[in-house]
Amino acid sequence: MKLLVCGGAGFIGSNFVRQRAGEHGDEVVVLDKLTYAGRRENLADVPHTFVHGGIEDAAAVAQAMEGVDAVVNFAAETHVDRSIAEPDAFVTTHAVGTFVLLEAARERGLRYLQVSTDEVYGSIAEGSFTEESPLEPSSPYSATKTGADLLVQSYTRTFGMETVICRGSNNYGPYQYPEKLIPLMVLNALHGDPLPVYGDGMQVRNWLYVTDFCAGIGHVLAHGAAGEVYNVGGPDECPNIEVVRRIIALTGADASLLTYVEDRPGHDRRYSLGSEKVRALGWEAQVRFEEGLERTVAWYRDNPGWWEPIRSGAYREYYERQYGSSLG
């Protein structure tokens, strides 16, 4: 199988390319704009062909799609806090980019998988979201991801195109950019920096180890029915404060680093994703949160060569803007 993986230089995309080109022996073309979150280094050990460009650029898309059998789209702006500060790129990539990709895939009769998120459903106090739950996104990130999902579904309903959507819960693991909760807390803990917990820290996330999500996407790509949505949720839920306490324990950091800061506006309280539909395709999560977190902390501890250039570059300006005033 020859796969086009858009956004394959990012966190989940690069883990997916590693799984497909390695375990599955697929031929992989990566199309990636290399934003702050995309890095060629993430794919240094993986055979692939690389095309540098945005999914909103029809010429780059046409070049990357040559001879492929299917398209998997990870390309996105992915950080909720950045979508609150600067939503522009979220609209361009998720709305225009998804449209350009869909048009090109339709012209060529390709199967298309859209990688989406549980955040399209909004927050749930009790129980779990199913694929039938209403879409009630809270942030510009999740609202534009929702728009992309609806556009993808319209291409099946209107044009009979073979599309599938995979909605994952919060991922964690190697190669995640340290703006997200787990890698940010791990690196701060290793450096003895404050650990900024938003609000009361009792927000709950449904943690999914990245290779489990990649395997779920593989199952849906192979066996999902056209026009259908598949939730892929992690096996464990955990309040943020508990995640941070576990990271303190695993790194041996000083508990006094824990610092409560102002809450995120529109902060979703709890995500929980029911995955019965993808289980029926034969998928099961393999990594429980306790084991996955240990592995993740060990990976960051053992790979300073991966994160040192990030922490000393433009990330510092982002970090200062996002946390400067609250952490003094």
- List, by residue number, the catalytic residues: 118-119, 141
Pairing mode, if any, of strands 236-239 and 204-209?
antiparallel
Nearest-approach distance from CB 251 to ligand TYD, in angstroms: 16
CA distance 155 to 200: 42
d(CA 213, CA 43): 18
Q: Using the rule CB under 6 A, which residue among 31, 37, 76, 80 binds ligand TYD?
A: 80
CB contact at 8 A, 20 and 5:
yes
Q: Output the six-digit token pair for 28.
A: 């992989």
Judged by CB under 6 A, the residue of 18, 21, 32, 90 near ligand NAD is 32
Select from 215, 227, 326 the least CA-distant residue to 281. 215
13 scored as a contact of ligand NAD (CB under 6 A): yes
User: Among residue numbers 34 through 93, which ones bind ligand NAD (CB under 6 A)?
Assistant: 34-35, 37-38, 54-56, 74-78, 93
Question: Should residue 50 be labelled a site residue for ligand TYD when binding is judged by CB under 6 A?
Answer: no
70-73 vs 195-198, strand pairing mode: unpaired
Assess 9 for contact with ligand NAD (CB under 6 A).
yes
Distance CA 176, CA 227 (A): 30
Q: How far is the CB of 49 from ligand TYD (least distance, A)?
A: 31
- Which residues, other chains included, contact 149 with Cβ-Cβ below 8 Å and sequence gap of 6+? 114, 116, 120, 135, 165, 167, 229
Piece of 7-15, 69-77, 197-205, 299-307 that binds ligand TYD (CB under 6 A): 197-205
Applying the rule CB under 6 A, the residues between 212 and 251 that interact with ligand TYD are: 240
- Interface contacts to ligand TYD, rule CB under 6 A: 80, 170, 180-181, 184, 196-198, 203, 205, 240, 264
Positions in the binding site for ligand NAD (CB under 6 A) = 6-7, 9-13, 32-35, 37-38, 54-56, 74-78, 93, 97, 115, 117, 145, 168, 170-171, 177
